[in-house]
Amino acid sequence: MRFVRELAEPWGLLLAATSAGAAWAVQLPVVAALGVGVTVLAARAGIAVASGEKPVAEPEERTLPDVEPGSPEAEWLRRAEAAADGFESISDSLDTGPLADRVADMEPVVRETVDTLRRLAGRTSATGKALARVDASAVAAEKARLRKELKTADDDIRGDLLQSLEAVQAQEDVHARLSSAQRKLLAQLRSGALGLDGLVARAAELSAATGDALLDTTTIGELSDQLEGIRRGVVETEEATRRSLS
């Protein structure tokens, strides 16, 4: 409630305490002095609410970048989400047993991996949009022109040309970092999606052999190892690209 928030506002509490202290100083009873403080606090809160003072805005949650429809990253994300749905379907179809227990335990990790891939896909699209703002051909042509001018430049303009060359080089460096990050992100999206496809295929294969005596805990454990490898690769890529673009 707005009124309750205003009661807890530090300046209001300070004003109330000061008023109560002043009342006590003129020898009012303690209870009466406290009453003065409470009255002042309530009045101040009421005035703040009535005057329409806006409360401090809550920090908004950071929204994920949109995945560009029809892009390669959108397609790989779709593949990963379909694999997660397939894995869940296999889990629901398994009879009670060691394999069913292991697959059920893996479901949250599969979903977590897809969530990370979704963030990577959004970052890939954002990187692509940033790349589109840097005309690499124009930057390269400008860099070549500046270098040519420097060879015959007088001393009075050499400093300006060097400064311009540094600015152009900075653009070229940004383009190179963005291009590298985009390639890495797309490679990991492909690897993650195909890895989840392979995980589903392996789970389906094991589900068909649940009555086989050779289906031991080691064989079942291979599923978890496979998933952990996929998850670790996705997380490491997310961390690496975040550092490279920060």
HSE-up (13 A, CA, CB side) for residue 194: 6
Supply the pLDDT for residue 223: 87
Q: Which alpha helices (DSSP H) does 94-154 contain, by range? A: 98-132, 136-152
Structure tokens at 200: 């589903």
Give every CB contact of residue 200 below 8 A, 6+ residues apart in sequence. 83, 86, 87, 90
**Tens digit of pLDDT for each residue in 42-54?**
554 555 545 554 4
pLDDT, tens only, 86-101: 999 999 988 888 888 8
DSSP letter for 62, please.
P
Confidence of residue 112 (pLDDT cuts 50, 70, 90): very high
Q: What is the mean pLDDT of residues 29-52?
A: 48
Task: Give Cα separations from 242 to 49, 94, 152, 156 (angstroms).
Answer: 43, 39, 42, 42
**pLDDT tens string 127-183:** 999 999 989 999 999 999 999 999 999 989 999 999 999 999 999 999 999 999 999
Show me where the domains of the chain are located. Answer: 2-50, 72-245
- Tokens at 236, concatenated: 């490491």
Residue 206's pLDDT band, with cuts at 50, 70 and 90, is: confident
Buried b (16+ CB within 10 A) or exposed e, 152-183: eeeeeeeeebeebbeebeebbebbeebeebbe
- Number of H helices and E strands in the chain, helices first, is 8, 0
